[in-house]
Amino acid sequence: MSTKRVSNAADFVNGDRLQTLFFELAKLNAPSTKEKPVADYLIKVLPELGFKIEFDEAHDHFNGEIGNLIAWKNGTDASIPPLFFSTHMDTVLPTEGLKPVIKDGVIYSDGTTILGADDRAALAAYLEAIRAIQESGTPHGPIELILTVNEQPGLVGARYMDYSRIKSKAGYIFDSSGDVGQIILKGPFSSRIWMEVEGNAAHIALNAEEGNSAFLIAAEGLTKMKLGTINEETVANIGIIKGGELTSIIPGSVTVAGEVRSFSKEKLEQQLSHMAAAMEAAAAENGGKVQVRIEKKYSGFEISEEDILVKTAEIAAKNIKVTSYFTETLGGADTNVLNENGLRCPTLGLGFQNIHSFRECISIENLVNTCRLTASLIEQWYINHKK
C-alpha cells in the first residue's frame, strides 16, 4: 500500500473559517425529529460544494420533519471507489439561544444550553475539509455524505434509512469522545427488555387482603438479577420502573425495563434470558404474572485492523502528525446500523467531552484536527486505490 502523498489537502484547512462554520451549525436549533433547520442550511451549502442531494422518507416512521440526507459528489477520478462520511443532524437537547464561549482553547456553551458538538463538530469538519480538497486541487474519488436524523434516541433515522439510495460501501463516522486519532474497531449488540409485571390491585384499607403488590413481585425479581458488569464483554441495566395509581392502592401492575449490551450476540441473549427468567420466577412464586418483550436496538460490528479503511486512517493520521490508536466501545452509534446494512465503517474520535450536558465542550485543536484528518482521509483513500 502506497504512503506517498500527492498533495497537502489538510494544510488548506482554514481554522478560522471552520470555527465560524461550527458556530453557525451549532446555533441551528434542531433536536431529534426537528432537523429541518440543518437540512435547509445544507440544501444551500452542499450544491455550492458540488454535491447533488436527496432525502429519503425515514421521518414518516416517527413523525419527524425531514428524512435522512444523502449527498453525492463526483470525484476527479471515477475509477476510485466512493468514500462516505456520515454523521447525524440532530442534537439531544435544543440549542436555541446558544452562546459559544472559548476558554483556554476549548469551546463551551455559556452553560444555559448544550453545545451541540455531538455531532455538529463532525458536520462542520466535513464541509470545511471538502472546501480544502477543492482549494488544494487534490485529486479524489467520489465522496458521499450520509447525514441521518433522529439518531440520539437510538439510531432511529439510520434504522429506517433507504439504503437503496446510497452508492458507496465504505466510509467513516466521526462520533466519539476519544481524541482525533482514535479508531474504534468494535461495537456492541444491544437490546432492550420490557417486563410487564402483574399482581392484583386493591385498596389498602378496604380490601387489602385481595391485593398482591406488583411492586414487591418486581422487587424480588430484580434482587435475583445480575446487573451491571456481567463479564468482560457484557453489561446490563434496569433503567425504567413505572407504575402505581394512588398511595392508597396496592399496585396491580408495574413496568420494568432495561438494556443489555455485549460484544457477543450469544452472551447478549444469555443475559436477556437470565433477566426474563428471574422476573418470571418471582411472579410464579408470588401468584403474579409477567409478560416479557425483547426489543432489538442494533447489531454489533467489528472491523479488521488489516481493512483498507483502517490502514488508510492510520496513514492519514500520520500525515497530519496525529497518533492513531485502536479501541472498542460498548457505546452505540450509527456505525452499528450502517455496518449491519452493508456499509463498512469504523467510528473515529473527534474529542467532544461531557456530551448531553450543559458542560459539553470540544477543544479547538480537536475540531481542527477532525477537519484535517477528514481531508487527509479523502486524499489517502485516493492514493491507496490509484494504481
Q: Which residues are catalytic?
A: 90, 151
Distance between CA atoms of residues 224 and 243, nearest Å: 20
User: How large is the C-alpha radius of gyration of the chain?
Assistant: 24
Are 176 and 331 in contact, with CB atoms under 8 Å apart?
Answer: yes
What the block records as the C-alpha cell of 358 is: 450543559
Which residue intervals of the chain are DSSP H helices?
A: 15-26, 36-48, 117-136, 156-159, 214-223, 265-285, 308-319, 334-340, 364-385
Are 165 and 57 in contact, with CB atoms under 8 Å apart?
Answer: no
- The residue with cell 479508531 is 183
Q: How many CA atoms lie within 13 A of 199 on its CB side?
A: 28
Phi, psi at residue 142, to the nearest 5°? -60, 145
Distance between CA atoms of residues 305 and 5, nearest Å: 22
Q: What angle do CA 101, 102, 106 make, to 5 degrees?
A: 125
Distance set, CA 288 to CA 197, 247, 274 (Å): 7, 21, 18
Are 337 and 75 in contact, with CB atoms under 8 Å apart?
Answer: no
Distance set, CA 377 to CA 58, 121, 143, 182, 337 (Å): 29, 17, 11, 14, 22
The distance between the two most distant Cα atoms of the chain, rounded to a whole number of Å, is 85
What is the Cα 199 distance to its own chain's centre?
38
What the block records as the C-alpha cell of 241 is: 420502573
Residues forming beta bridges with residue 292, ordered by sequence position: 195
